[in-house]
Amino acid sequence: MGLFDRLKKGLEKTRASLMGGIDNIFSGGKALDEESLEELEELLISSDIGVKTASGIVESLNEKKGDIKKAGSPREFLKGEMTGLLGRPEPLVLFGEKPFVILTIGVNGAGKTTTIGKLAARFTQEGRSVVLAAADTFRAAAIEQLEIWSQRTGAQIIKQQAGGDPAAVAFDAVEAAKKRGADVVIVDTAGRLHTKTNLMEELKKVRRVIQKAMPDAPQETLLVVDATNGQNALRQAELFNQAIAVTGIALTKLDGTSKGGIVFTIKRELGIPIKLIGVGEAVEDLRDFDPKDFIDALFG
């Protein structure tokens, strides 16, 4: 199965929910009237496109009725509008002096450690040397999971025993990468703390300590978000962005939800680029987010 087919398969649930509903609303050449627009808005909201974004799309459709006739159908016009909402691709690109440091954040259960492992696999397949920093020291399972990915991908790992200082692990990893001439450092972090320390303050501390080791780092602060959480995912993104200035989002588990419309809400309401999406379990199912491919797969 090719990459586009994997993407299309991963979006089956969202496509069945969203596009099936759109086809029902406008079946038999039904006019674009107040009733059909209202139905469309409800459908978009139920697909987790969000109230503001859904209202904006419907308002645009209402204003451009003449253009819809030129497009051939409301469905085709909607496809163009939604493509425009997502804008241009903004992939995860390495730049600047080595090592390129990716600070990975997000709540537990979002697929953070798995995303890190898949990224490590991608970079090592490209011939880059990778150092993993097991800075989620509050969960022994997270350290063990990262060790497995280290063995599987050939990436190096810097760790301490469970309960150690997360910032110290991150610092040691960047220093080790500098000495070894490594290309990339990927830092895992806690998604929930079992201490009185506030999670966001802990993450800020990790970032400050990374900057002591390398002033221009982290070059990427990647928030991993579980798409099946819908509007909660949007709220998470807001909170993390306020605290630690997110530069990109990895949206996981798109294959497990009928509410993939969260992609549009995050982009429109937060303006944070979605750089990676997860549409399956395999390493290659973590892929650069290409808005055109996403829309083509969604509209089927």
* Domain ranges in the chain with CATH number 3.40.50.300: 100-299
**Mean pLDDT computed over 217-239:** 90
210-216: long-range pairs with CB below 8 Å, 24+: 210/101, 210/103, 210/170, 210/171, 210/174, 212/171, 213/170, 213/171, 213/174, 213/175, 213/178, 214/99, 214/101, 214/174, 214/178, 216/96, 216/97
Checking if the pLDDT of 104 tops 90, the result is yes
> Structure pTM?
0.91
193-214 average pLDDT score? 89
Does the pLDDT of residue 259 top 90, yes or no?
no
Q: Which of 300, 215, 220 is nearest to 12 (CA)?
A: 300
Residues β-bridged to residue 248: 222
The better pLDDT of the pair 64, 179 is held by 179
pLDDT of amino acid 31? 67
Q: Strand order in 100-105's β-sheet? A: 156-158, 130-134, 184-188, 100-105, 220-226, 248-252, 274-278, 286-288
CA atoms 83, 290, 90, 217: torsion sign: positive
Name the residue with tokens 């280290």. Answer: 150
Beta strands, E only, 99-178:
100-105, 130-134, 156-158
CA distance 270 to 85: 12
**Between these two residues, 108 and 61, which has the higher pLDDT value?**
108
Average confidence (pLDDT) over 121-148: 96
Q: Percentage of the chain with pLDDT > 70?
A: 94
Structure tokens at 259: 């509410």
- Work out the average pLDDT over 63-85: 77
CA angle 193, 194, 197 (to 5 degrees): 60
For the ranges 18-32, 76-90, 102-116, 117-131, the lowest mean pLDDT is seen at 18-32
Q: β-pairing, 184-188 with 220-226?
A: unpaired
pLDDT value, residue 166 = 96
User: Please, where in the chain does CATH 1.20.120.140 lie?
Assistant: 3-86
* CA 56 – CA 13 distance, rounded (Å): 24
Instruction: Tell me which CATH code domain 3-86 carries.
Output: 1.20.120.140
Nearest to 218 by CA among 167, 292, 263: 167
Q: What is residue 286's DSSP assignment?
A: E
| Low-confidence winner among 66-70, 128-132, 190-194, 227-231 (lowest mean pLDDT) | 66-70
What pLDDT, on a 0 to 100 scale, did the predictor assign at position 30?
67
d(CA 127, CA 183): 10
What does CATH list as the number for 100-299? 3.40.50.300
Average pLDDT value for residue range 13-23: 85
Please tell me the predicted confidence (pLDDT) of residue 196.
62
